[in-house]
Structure 1
Amino acid sequence: MAAPSMAAALAASLPAPSAAPAPATPTYEAIPPSMSTLIDVEAEIPLKYVQLDGLVVSKILKHSCDSTSSSPVGLLLGIDLDGVLEVSNCFALPHHSGDDDDKSAKSVARYQASMLRSLKEVQGDDNVVGFYQASTLGAFFSQNLIDLQALHHEKLRHGGIVVVHDVSQTARGNASFRAFRLTSAFLDAYKKSSFSTASLASHQLTFSSIFEELPLIIHTNPLLSAFLGEFSSVSPDTAPGSASVSALPPSFSVLDLNSGGLTKNLEHIVDTLDTYRNEEGNLAYLSRQIARERAKADNYVAKRKEESAAREDVTRLFKIPPEPSRLESMLLLGQVDAYAKSLAETTSTGLVKMYSATAGSV
């Protein structure tokens, strides 16, 4: 007879379980009215604002600085309570520049599933509430971002949000974070894949009505606030006769006239306008082609007055292409508008600095 396995031997050595008493019937208490508004199972309470934790802000800043991609993307994790979307954690999504789109998408999906599974195992926040993306000069309009938001709209509570971080503002010493979500009018047109002229007019869509902005605040716990206060405070040096020192080196970025940023902003505007002009040229060419085919079909129907010919399917004889989508044109206009607003802000600040520098030198 074969010797019993180690697991069987250990199981046999354990004491026999004692008969447990029958469990009592549990009693449930009604949810207090003060808590019933917080437990929003059906996501019926509209969002009032988005609250970013200090940890999320630091992670987004680090990912934006370390990433080689022009628009790094990551996932936001948290929960919504009583109309407040509390974002407590986030993690970056990998960027594969050398792979094709299909292979890159599968790799990102595997990484996302692995990270969420690992967070759940260590009792971390694994509830996805949206995405974040870094941009330059406020131009965050892109087809990839819209596809990502629209794809996860049905899966995320309140449709999910996107937090946009402007890297150029951070370089000037201002941490810029804005929260957006897709509007219902745009989602309706996106589901129908209809961005023709008639569809845009019926849905009243422009580049400014693609996203709806939500108020955003940054929350820091007392421990982090105390650390930042201690880190930035000036402490006297122990050496006699020495000046006070600080852990943070002095910054002279406010004295920079920022002429290089102005040139870069103008270059972005010119490039985007050139791309928009090419897109409008392609749309005009396709519109003329559609008009020619339609005119041929109308002439054919006008010549055939008989009833049998009127019932004939004209689309089989004339291949009239569908009207092209104007979504790309709207996104390019959104980028131009963002670059123009950034240019106006940069030039106004630069003029004040240049005037101050000139007045000080006189």
Structure 2
Amino acid sequence: MADTFKDAPFQAVQVDSLVVLKIAKHCSSAFPTTATGSIVGMDQNNLLEVTNTFPFPSVDNTTADSHQNDASAIAAAAPRQKSNLTYQNEMIRHLKEVNVDANNVGWYTSATMGNFVNLSFIENQYHYQKDNNATVALVYDASKSSQGNLTLRAFRLTSTFMTAYKEGKFTTDVLQKSKLSFRDIIAELPVSIHNSHLLTSFLHQIPSHPVDEEVEPPTSLADIERDQVKPPLDPSIDTLDLAIDPFLEKTCDLLLESIESHYTDLNNFQFYQRQLGREQAKISQWQAKRKAENAQRAVSKQAPLPEDEWQRLFKLPQEPSRLEGMLNAKQVEQYSKQVDGFTANISAKMFAVRENLLPQ
């Protein structure tokens, strides 16, 4: 992890609890449509502090298609639109007037089951990071957080990928020379939630709920031995449920879709290789024929014909970009990590009852 963060201006991200609540409310209200917004704060002592946030204006359905995919695509591209950049600068100016941290430190987006590694995410983060290296992208998974498990992650593009994306060449030769793989696209930073001292003091001063009944102190040792000890919590058998987690099934479906997309991209590249091989075979035949003609013309003491004329007669196919395939591979890795996390508890339960599941 240290090698990944050595080029980053900070090593961790600290998010205020109020920012987390604002992001969670915006993403949950827009679910399942993608929600995006801007985050502000400051970078100090190798720590990026996110102290405030505001959402980007939503698109009116009357001016755009009502389909969910179209609305999500428009919302995903919102961080780099000119109108939203103007809105962001205006909001930052207002924050400065009230003496609030007004340094733009990146943006946030919502995700569904960890599905966020796509070209739009890369373009948005590159748009922020090329002008200000101290920026980060916060990803809030609304579907997983709805089950009571807060999922807020921070990502930034690596310097190696930033250089390659600036050149815009993701061919096989360039990737081999730069040794760039799908693991080097984005780097995840640790995220911590921070409460102000005033809020912490307030939480400690909140009175607890009164007990249901008054507890009478025992008068003798016989009272203690006679009365049964009350359990602190009611027993629950939910943890013994052997049903497959529905989130695991959905993640597996998304994993299969990403693998199919990866194979589609691989088939396109193999088609390019076959086309390139056919064209190179034609060029070799033409060059051999031209050399034979020049040899005959040399015997007849005639001027030789140009041998580089094949560049005008033949056109080599252009190699497709490997960026889409790299993003699919990165998304497959994200889904695989989620499946690994889901199956930990299920595998333990199955192992405990395996004797009952085996045929007699």
TM over 0.5: yes
How far the C-alpha of 1:228 sits from its partner, in A, is: 4.6
Q: Which of these residues, 329, 335, 345, is aligned with residue 333 of structure 1?
A: 329
Shift of 1:146: 0.6
What is the one-letter code of the residue matched to 1:170? S
Tell me, in whole angstroms, the C-alpha distance in 1 between the residues paired with 2:351 and 2:27.
Answer: 33
Say if 1:311 and 1:65 are closer, same or farther in 2 by CA, change over 3 A.
same
For residue 263 of structure 2, what is the aligned residue in structure 1? 277
Return 66-75 or 53-62, whichever deviates more: 66-75
One-letter amino acid of the counterpart of residue 169, structure 2 = S
Give the TM-score of the pair, scaled to structure 1: 0.72
Deviations 1:9-36 (A, max 9, x none): xxxxxxxxxxxxxxxxxxxxxxxxxxxx
Map of 1:171 onto structure 2? 146
Map 1:1-362; keep pairs closer than 5 Å: 46-96=9-59, 98=64, 105-158=81-134, 160-228=135-203, 234-236=208-210, 255=239, 259-305=245-291, 306=294, 308-312=305-309, 314-352=310-348
Provide the secondary structure at the position in 2 that maps to 1:174.
coil
* SS class of match (2:170): coil
Q: Secondary structure at the match of 2:169?
A: coil
For residues 122 and 171 of structure 1, do their structure 2 counterparts lie closer, same or farther at Cα, with a shift above 3 Å needed? same
2:224 paired residue number: none
Cα-Cα RMSD: 3.3
CA distance in 2, matches of 1:340, 1:134: 20
Name the CA shift for 1:323/1:45 in 2 (closer, same or farther; >3 Å): closer
Distance 2:201 2:285 in 1: 79
Identity across the alignment (%): 36
Cα deviation for residue 311 of structure 1 reads: 3.9
Question: Partner of 1:75: helix, strand, or coil?
Answer: strand
- Cα displacement (A) at 1:194: 0.9
Cα distance in 1 for partners of 2:46, 2:186 equals 19
CA contact (8 A) 1:207 1:331 kept: yes
> Are the counterparts in 1 of residues 248 and 342 from structure 2 also a CA contact under 8 Å?
yes
Structure 1, unaligned runs of 5 or more: 1-43, 243-249
Hey, what's the Cα distance between the residues in 2 that align with 1:311 and 1:215? 57
Aligned residue in 2 for 1:16: none
Residue-by-residue CA offset, 1:90-130 (whole Å, 9 max, x unaligned) = 12224547368899634433433332333234333321111
Note the C-alpha offset of 1:253: 12
- Comparing 218-227 and 141-150, the one that deviates more: 218-227
1:84 CA drift (Å): 1.8
TM-score (norm 2): 0.73
Distance apart, 1:346 and its partner CA: 0.8
Aligned to 1:13: none
Q: CA–CA distance in 1 between the matches of 2:17 and 2:237?
A: 24
The alpha-carbon deviation at position 45 of structure 1 amounts to 8.8
Shift, 1:206, TM fit: 1.6
